[in-house]
Amino acid sequence: MKIYIPMDSAAKALGADDVADAVKAGLAERGIEAQIIRNGTRGMIWLEPLVEIDSGEGRIAYGPVNAQDVPALLDGKMDSLGRVEDIPFFARQTRLTFQRCGVIDPLDLAAYEAHGGLAGLRRAAAMTGPRIVEETTTSGLRGRGGAGFPTGIKWKTVCEAEADQKYIVCNADEGDSGTFADRMIMEGDPFSLIEGMAIAGLGVGATKGYVYLRSEYPDAIRVMNAAVEIARAQGVLGADIAGSGRAFDMEIRVGAGAYVCGEETSLLNSLEGKRGVVRAKPPLPALEGFLGKPTVVNNVISLATVPVIFEKGAQHYADFGLGRSRGTVTLQIAGNVARGGLFETAFGISLGEVVEDIAGGTRSGRPVKAVQVGGPLGAYMPREKFDTPMGYEEFDQNGGLIGHAGLVIFDDSADMLQMARFAMVFCAVESCGKCTPCRIGATRGVETIDRIARGDTAATGLLTDLCETMKEGSLCALGGFTPFPVMSALTHFPDDFATRKEAAE
């Protein structure tokens, strides 16, 4: 018998470690022989801790399980959810990037290989750099960190650059509220990221990689460090990776609590040991990146998707999707939600289907008021926009952005003026300080929204102008996109910006 208990930090935050202890004790008491496997999460966070028991007829799911439930669980007296693959939320997904997450012990390299791991790297090892880059381009993969830039094109620039040293830098700063896909894959299937970085290294001729991992993720830091050591010991990293005759090695670096360091040039400054201020582009990091050398900077999910592209072929990946958004989107459904978690599916599904149907609306049971898509710099989408399909261009046309694909759901008790105010506060707190419209403008924005809150509705014109200035005059998307949440709140929920005045009258 095998018993799977996740070690993902969301599962732990809901008591998975206590459950594991109770299971261990319960098994000993009953004299039952069973193997406990600490897997990643399947991503159905509302069911965590989700325990799976495999007695030979598939993996039967139970959840949420707390420590007090364990005696009933072990005595076969707890209701099961059936086979985990049959749970509708799971059954409806197309799992490519997350194919192994929650399935295996994250640090078991043999299990990784048995589930398709390293096949992509072996295939890439037999290809030339330019062929690897071409395959990546064919897949249609676009950056999952926010900007959606075609990954193959970025790699081509680095591949063609002449230099004695090139780098692969993985952006694992995942600062957006409502996002946890990077964390989940690093905790649940770290070798997929390592394999993706190795393939990137072979593709562009880089021998050294760094993962810039935010300090807010101590569990992910532990798992990634352990995985790198195992990969090195097993020859997945080192002087001759996967028999390619080429070298690649990597290190995990820990961030220091600055949201702006998720912006790629700020990240590079931080990695070099400087203040995390944003650099002007050009020069592109692809030509002058880490320590001035040609550097690929890619998000965790972009890189962790590369192995499956090489395993199954670029065309297989490109066959999923909508328009210019190819492959799968790893949606993170969060906030006030009945069924929250990670949902990987082909691009093209509508926002409303995700929110109402898959996620089941709010946790509070009240009507959905708004969904913030794409993190703190993303727009608040009202119900009227729920037919927007998940696609980079489609969201853009509807005044929003997909970003890192986080969805934060709010019920009708949300005060959108307060949410707009928070967006400005956040920008002021996290600004790198380089541009006046961002550094000073955000603080003015807070003051202006406070004026509106006191009943001075005329200040909405000021707020609109200020947002225009921030959009036009900011070097990076922190100052430049903060107007998205602010203006979407103001435009779609004008009542929240007017009620106080009426109440005062």
Partner 1 sequence: MQSPSPATSHEDLRAIVSDHMHLEGPMLPMLHAIQADFGYIPEDAISVIADMLNMTRAEVYGVVTFYHDFRKAPAGRHVVRICRAEACQSVGGTALSEAALARLGIGWGGTTANGAVTVEPVYCLGLCACGPAAMVDGKVVGRLDAARLDALLAEAGA
- Please give the residue ranges that form the binding site for ligand FMN (CB under 6 A): 143-147, 149, 171, 173-175, 260, 262-264, 297-299, 302, 476-478
Indicate the residue type of 277: V
Among residues 178 and 203, whose Cβ is nearest to partner 1? 178
CB of 255 to ligand SF4, least distance (A): 15
CB of 131 to partner 1, least distance (A): 29
CB of 474 to ligand SF4, least distance (A): 4
Among residues 26 and 406, whose Cβ is nearest to ligand FMN? 406
Q: Which of these segments, 304-312, 385-393, 475-483, 491-499, binds ligand SF4 (CB under 6 A)?
A: 475-483
Interacting residues with ligand FES between 433 and 452 (CB under 6 A):
434-437
Q: Answer whether 432's CB lies under 8 Å from 260's CB.
A: yes
* Tokens of residue 304, six digits: 């962790």
Q: Does 438 bind ligand SF4 (CB under 6 A)?
A: yes
| Burial of 159 per CB tally in 10 Å (0-12, 13-18, 19+) | buried
- Secondary structure (3-state) at 218: helix
Compute how many other C-beta atoms are within 10 angstroms of the C-beta atom of residue 504: 8
Compute how many other C-beta atoms are within 10 angstroms of the C-beta atom of residue 50: 29
Q: Which of these segments, 37-45, 127-135, 398-406, 478-486, binds ligand SF4 (CB under 6 A)?
A: 478-486
Which partner in ligand SF4, ligand FMN, partner 1, none is near 180 (CB below 5 to 8 A by kind)? partner 1
Which partner in ligand SF4, ligand FES, partner 1, none is near 473 (CB below 5 to 8 A by kind)? ligand FES
Q: Does 439 bind ligand SF4 (CB under 6 A)?
A: yes
Which partner in partner 1, ligand FES, ligand FMN, none is near 336 (CB below 5 to 8 A by kind)? partner 1
Interacting residues with ligand SF4 between 376 and 415 (CB under 6 A):
none
d(CA 355, CA 334): 10
Which partner in partner 1, ligand FMN, ligand FES, none is near 149 (CB below 5 to 8 A by kind)? ligand FMN
* Tokens of residue 409, six digits: 């759901």
H helix or E strand, kind and range, residue 329: strand 328-335
82 DSSP β-pair partners: 61
Q: Does 270 bind ligand SF4 (CB under 6 A)?
A: no
Put the strands of the sheet holding 167-172 in their side by side order. Answer: 249-254, 208-213, 167-172, 295-299
Which partner in ligand FES, ligand FMN, ligand SF4, none is near 297 (CB below 5 to 8 A by kind)? ligand FMN
Give the closest residue to 359 by CA, choosing from 376, 342, 383: 342
Q: Output helix, strand, coil percentages for the chain, rounded to the nearest 5.
A: 50, 15, 35
Please report the DSSP string for 424-475 in residue order. Answer: HHHHHHH--S--HHHHHHHHHHHHHHHHHHTT-TTHHHHHHHHHHHHHHH-S
Which partner in ligand SF4, ligand FES, partner 1, none is near 379 (CB below 5 to 8 A by kind)? none
Q: For the stretch 75-85, what's the b/e string if a residue is b when 16 or more beta carbons lie within 10 angstroms of its beta carbon?
A: eeebeebebbe
Q: Which of these segments, 94-102, 283-291, 307-315, 426-434, binds ligand SF4 (CB under 6 A)?
A: 426-434
Footprint of partner 1 on this chain (CB under 8 A)? 9-10, 12-14, 45-46, 48, 174-180, 182-184, 208, 215-219, 251, 253-259, 270-277, 290-291, 332-337, 340-341, 363-364, 372, 376, 406, 408-411, 414, 419, 422, 426, 429-430
Q: Answer whether 351's CB lies under 8 Å from 376's CB.
A: no
Interacting residues with ligand SF4 between 228 and 267 (CB under 6 A):
260
List of E strands, 17-87: 35-37, 51-54, 59-62, 82-83
Among 213, 303, 459, 475, binds ligand SF4 (CB under 6 A): 475
Task: Compute the chain's Rg from CA coordinates.
Answer: 23
Q: Does 473 bind ligand FES (CB under 6 A)?
A: yes
Q: Does 434 bind ligand SF4 (CB under 6 A)?
A: yes
CB of 150 to ligand FES, least distance (A): 27
Orientation angle between helical segments 181-188 and 190-204, nearest 10 degrees: 100
Give the closest residue to 159 by CA, choosing from 187, 139, 135, 175: 135
Q: Does 428 bind ligand FES (CB under 6 A)?
A: no
Among residues 428 and 475, whose Cβ is nearest to ligand FES? 475
Among residues 264 and 411, whose Cβ is nearest to ligand SF4? 264
Q: Kindly write out the interface string for residues 155-194 of this chain, putting x where it contacts ligand FES by CB under 6 A and - elsewhere.
A: ----------------------x-----------------
Q: Does 469 bind ligand FES (CB under 6 A)?
A: no
Indicate the residue type of 339: R
Q: Kindly write out the interface string for residues 67-86 of this chain, putting x where it contacts ligand SF4 by CB under 6 A and - elsewhere.
A: --------------------
121: alpha, beta or left? (left if phi > 0; alpha if psi -120 to 50)? alpha
Orientation angle between helical segments 300-312 and 190-204, nearest 10 degrees: 80
Number of shown-chain residues binding ligand SF4 (CB under 6 A): 15
Compute how many other C-beta atoms are within 10 angstroms of the C-beta atom of residue 412: 11
Q: Write out the residues near ligand SF4 by the rule CB under 6 A.
A: 260, 278, 431-435, 438-439, 474-476, 478-480
Q: Write out the residues near ligand FES by the rule CB under 6 A.
A: 177, 434-437, 473, 475
